[in-house]
Amino acid sequence: MDKAESWLYKTLHYRFEDADLLKQALTHRSATGSNNERLEFLGDAVLDLVISDAVYRARPDATEGDLSRLRASLVKEKTLAALALELGVGEYLVLGGGEMKTGGHRRESILADALESIVGAVYLDSGIEAARDVIERVFAKRLDELPAADELRDPKTRLQEWLQARGMGLPEYELVNVTGKAHKQTFEVSCRVGQTVSVTHGTSTTRRKAEQKAAADMLAELLESQA
């Protein structure tokens, strides 16, 4: 058993029948030989299925939209990369010279892809139940600490739903100002609800983010006024 196999057995309690699958799962396309792109494709699908099943069972009263948001929060690149980092995946990656020099073993996209590839490799090696065991072990803490569904809705959506539930009109967003050079602009957006005097503002590097900030402040004001 080589170092990578030993690491996987200690961290995830899984031992490959075909060790070459693990080697391939850890090999980035920048390196020579077989890489993990096909395994990543397969692992992505297996991960979606298992996580969908897990959140479905964990939240029996959640709507389809809430379940989708919960799943997305778990399988997004940032989460997968964080999990891969916690597991120490980066130490066993096989990278090309360029990626090694630029810190590829810490790059989010590479770590996330590698974790999906490991899942795909386990599935090919031993089937769906073995893959499920590995996934549930990797995601155990995050599945135990699933956030409330409404925490995953973006501020604009939450504001709109709050207003609609009270028969109020939709919020109006207006671009107030744009500063900075084309490649590094700052956007200021206002948010107004109905004919209220109160107007909130949000500033960020994109118009969308600025709108989200303005919406978050408006929702906070409305909730405070109702308290």
The distance from CA 84 to its chain's CA centroid, rounded to whole angstroms, is: 13
As given in the structure block, the two tokens for residue 133 are: 């065991």
What is the spatial distance between Cα 69 and Cα 20, in angstroms, rounded to a whole number? 35
What is the spatial distance between Cα 61 and Cα 177, in angstroms, rounded to a whole number? 43
DSSP 14-64: ---SSHHHHHHHTB-TTSSSS-SHHHHHHHHHHHHHHHHHHHHHH-TT--H
| Residue count of the chain | 227
Catalytically annotated residues: 44, 116
The distance from CA 17 to its chain's CA centroid, rounded to whole angstroms, is: 30
**DSSP label of 124:** H
Q: In what order do the strands lie in the sheet with 199-204?
A: 171-179, 186-193, 199-204
12 contact partners, CB below 8 Å, separation of at least 6 = 87, 134, 137, 138
What is the spatial distance between Cα 113 and Cα 39, in angstroms, rounded to a whole number? 9
Instruction: Identify residue 154 by its one-letter amino acid code.
Output: D
